[in-house]
A and B are shown apart, each in its own frame.
Chain A
């Protein structure tokens, strides 16, 4: 029997097909080369507790190494993070182009393409600030390290898998490690200057993340508050505190 941790009934499964991309960049005036090396794995699947596929991505960069002239190295990484009932691609690192958290807008059963998430028009993602600050791990791929924020597995799920929901302590520790993340059960507080969204709440929608995002755009903060009031009694104490704190602003 193999216990696999899950959060709100979900786990991130990283495939074992490794790939690399090498961006050779430009040569500077000193003749040095600026380059970035991306190492990734795929596919990445978000699975539910009955093993069902909730979302699939063709791959993510789990280890990024860059070099600028002779003095500034940097590392970065991406990971798939489960927040509330939503799935985000978190891209972080020094000088990383388009670092941020991207809400993944799953459409039907199709596989999402990583390039489409980061595309300027973002057909399958929305760049949203949710206060999440993933840490980096220079030494290894992020999905193999303790730096990965959500429950995840690498490779196939064992045949004797038993899913085990995060304990209260585990969830509390996760929230405390992310002091600016405001979650209330399945809902997540989001902000985005680009989309003119400040201190709003993204609620789970039966038709998926895209519908949830559209619902947010068609409602107001007062609607959020009305709905949150009905959820606070059953919320985790830290969640409740953060919801109320967000409405003192």
Chain B
């Protein structure tokens, strides 16, 4: 019994990190039709930037702020000066972000070496807690709660604010949105920045439990895509549900069938695709 609860919590907390990553991936594709492969880099660089700040200052909160800000700046520069020139040309845009994935991967290796690093946990959540007879790391519980708060916040922005409605209008019909006075190109930059922010946030928050290491960018990117394929591209709800599904599958897969860990993710994905080609919450 104890085992099931602990492993489920592990799966959910990892699922929340995947949600942070996939929600940005999904938002960016939904509005801009860009398949941002550099999203994995945003996660990795976010983790490394967070690591540097924690090592220098000892403050995890500061690390979150500095790391996400740094990655947002990189993302905005990429969008404003490069991706924008290839608007609606899916293949060139994807290749461009693919190039960035490799460049950032090599740069990270050059700067931080190839040893896996772990971001120290914030002081406040460094201990385990005992709830109802279970002993469990409080940091993982914090991630679950934090992920839920971010999900609620994103949902509110999307469905409850004027800017969220403008973004949805742009997703619906970009050209008509422009011709009715909505500054869609500004929305593009905002959404890309938000996506970069969320990925970097995932990198810093995941640093203490997943570690930061060469290849993490490709690894989370792959899982992030599985999440949006299962959940449905462009859907926030899909990113959350898909994130939790993949988090749990990945966790239990590694526990029960360590030698087939990827199979336990891709087989259910193929099944879902067979039944619902647009994912659980995707639009046709």
A interacts with B? no
